Amino acid sequence: MRIGILGGGQLGWMTILEGRKLGFEFLVLDKSTSSPACKISDLCFDYEKVDEFVKLCDVITYEFEHIPDEVLEKTSYLTLPSVEVLKLKKSKVEEKVFLRKRGYPVPNFTVATNEDLERAADMFELPVVVKSESLGYDGKGQYLIKEKGKLKDVKSNHPQGRFLVEEFVDFDFELSIIGVRNAKGEALIYPPTINHHEEGILIYNKSTDLAFPEAKEITKSLIEELNIVGLLCVEFFYTKDGKLLINEIAPRAHNTGHYTLDGSYTSQFENLIRAITGLPLGSTKLKSPSGMINIIGKSYEEMDIRKVLSVDGAKLYWYGKEKRYRRKMGHVNVVGSSQEDVERKLEYLYDVLFESLKC
Ligand code: AMP
C-alpha cells in the first residue's frame, strides 16, 4: 500500500521512519524535493507533478497546514483527515470562530481588518495578542502588543488579510493532548503533556502525573465532532484561576507528541498510519515518564552531540535541514525513572542546547 504525504518536513520524515516498519511505501509532495521527508521517501514530487502523485497513492495525509488550494482540490478525495478540517485550520480566524460557536472554551477575541485594528484592540486591556489570519506558525505573524503605537508595524507587515485580536492570557502553564481515531470511530487519547514555549515557539515538553480529565473530554469531543480519521492535537492554556482555554488545534502529528517515539507503546506517527490505513490502533500509554527538547537555529556542528548523548535515556533526531534562525533543526527525546528524573535531564539539555540561543 502506498501512502502519500503532503509536505516534506520533519513530521513527514518521522511518519516515514515509523511507517516503513509496518511495510508501507511513501510518496511525498512538497515544493522542495530536498526536504527531509523527500530524501527518505520512495518517490518525491514537486507541486507541479501533483497529478502523477495522486495517481500512485492509495491514501494521502498531510504534515503541515499551508498547502496550496489547487493541490488540495486534486488530492482531497484520498486525504485523511479530511481537507475540510485542514481548511478550517488554514485560517486562525475560522478556527477560533468555529471553536467558540460550538461552545468550546477559548480566550476572548475579536476579528479585525487592517482598517479597524486599533478599534479591535480597544476592546481589551493591553497587552493584546494580534495574530495574522494565515501562514502563522511557531509564533510567526504573531505580535504581543503592549502599546497601541506598535499596531502600525503590524499593519504594514500585513497589508492584506484579517487578524485575530486576542486577550493576553496570563496562564499558569500550557498543555496539550493528542488523540487518534480510525474510520470505524475507535479513538484513543495520549496522556497530556506540559509544554514550555518561548517567544511563540515550543522549546520543551514533558509528561505529567496530573490527569486533566476536562482536557481529555474536550479532545475526545472535538475528534468526534470534526470526524477526524488520523490525529488531532489540542493545545490549551491553564489559567492562574484554574480554567482551561483552547489555544489551537492541529489535525496532524504535532511537535508536542515527538516524545511518543520513545516514551509510548505506539508513537503518534505509527498511530497516524494505523488510523488512515484501517489497522487497529496501538496503545497510547506511556512506557515511562518522558520529555522532548527541540534543537532550534543550530547547525549539526554547533550542537554538542557528545553532551546530548551522554544523557542516559536521550535519543537524538536530526532532521537534516539547512540552518536558519529560529528553525527547528532536530529534537532530543528523554525517558526517565520518574518525572523529576526527566526534568533534571531536560534542564541539563536546555543548558547544552540553548546557552547561546536568542529566539
Ligand atoms: P500560536 O502560534 O497561536 O500557537 O501561539 C504560540 C504561543 O504563543 C502559544 O503557545 C503561547 O505560548 C503564546 N500565545 C499565543 N496566544 C496567546 C495569548 N492569547 N495569550 C498569551 N500567550 C499566547
Which H helix or E strand runs over 295?
A: strand 290-296
In a domain, 331, yes or no: yes
Q: Indicate the residue among 31, 64, 79 that finishes a domain.
A: 79
Mutate to test the pocket of ligand 1, among 95, 140, 142 (most ligand atoms within 8 A of CB): 142
**Which residues form the domain of 159?**
108-167
In a domain, 229, yes or no: yes
Are residue 316 and residue 238 in the same domain, yes or no?
A: yes
In a domain, 96, yes or no: no
Are residue 254 and residue 240 in the same domain, yes or no?
A: yes
Amino acid at 59: V
Torsion of the alpha carbons at 172, 237, 358 and 329, rounded to the nearest 10: 130
**Per-residue pLDDT at 140:** 78
Question: Nearest C-alpha to atom 7 of ligand 1 is from which residue?
Answer: 200
CA-CA distance, 303 to 44, in Å (whole number)?
29
Smallest CA-to-CA distance from 260 within 275, 270, 248 is with 270
CA-CA distance, 197 to 208, in Å (whole number)?
17
Mutate to test the pocket of ligand 1, among 247, 252, 326, 328 (most ligand atoms within 8 A of CB): 247
Atom of ligand 1 nearest to the CA of 142: 2
Are residue 45 and residue 143 in the same domain, yes or no?
A: no
In a domain, 101, yes or no: no
Task: Report residue 243 as a C-alpha cell.
Answer: 480554567
Are residue 145 and residue 200 in the same domain, yes or no?
A: no
For the chain, 359 residues long, give each residue's pLDDT as a single digit of tens. 999 999 999 999 999 999 999 999 999 999 988 999 999 999 999 999 999 999 999 999 999 988 999 999 999 999 999 999 999 988 999 999 999 999 999 999 999 999 999 999 999 999 999 999 986 666 778 999 999 999 999 999 998 889 999 999 999 999 999 999 999 999 999 999 999 999 899 999 999 999 999 999 999 999 999 999 999 999 999 999 999 999 999 999 999 999 999 999 999 999 999 999 999 999 999 999 999 999 999 999 999 999 999 999 999 999 999 999 999 999 999 999 999 999 999 999 999 999 644 43
Are residue 160 and residue 179 in the same domain, yes or no?
A: no
Q: Are 233 and 205 in contact (CB under 8 A)?
A: no
Amino acid at 17: L
CA-CA distance, 187 to 280, in Å (whole number)?
10
In a domain, 267, yes or no: yes
Q: What CATH number corresponds to the domain at position 57?
A: 3.40.50.20
Residue with cell 488550494: 69
Instruction: Look at strands 230-239 and 171-181 and give their pairing.
Output: antiparallel
Are residue 183 and residue 157 in the same domain, yes or no?
A: no
Are residue 74 and residue 217 in the same domain, yes or no?
A: no
- β-bridge mates for residue 245, sequence order: 237
In a domain, 103, yes or no: no
Torsion of the alpha carbons at 319, 264, 139 and 76, rounded to the nearest 10: 80
Are residue 200 and residue 316 in the same domain, yes or no?
A: yes
- 15 touches ligand 1 (CB under 6 Å): no
- 248 touches ligand 1 (CB under 6 Å): yes
Q: Are 2 and 26 in contact (CB under 8 A)?
A: yes
Q: What CATH number corresponds to the domain at position 151?
A: 3.30.1490.20
In what side-by-side order are the strands of the sheet with 109-112?
A: 109-112, 163-167, 128-132, 142-145
CA-CA distance, 117 to 146, in Å (whole number)?
14
Cβ-count burial 132-165 (b if 16+ within 10 Å, e if not): bbbebebbebbbebeeeebbeebbeebeeebbbb
Atom of ligand 1 nearest to the CA of 109: 19
**Number of alpha carbons in the 13 Å side-chain half-sphere of residue 21:** 12
CA-CA distance, 293 to 336, in Å (whole number)?
14
| Structural domains counted in the chain | 3
CA-CA distance, 51 to 317, in Å (whole number)?
32
**Per-residue pLDDT at 359:** 34
Query: Strand, helix or coil at 331?
Result: strand
Are residue 27 and residue 124 in the same domain, yes or no?
A: no
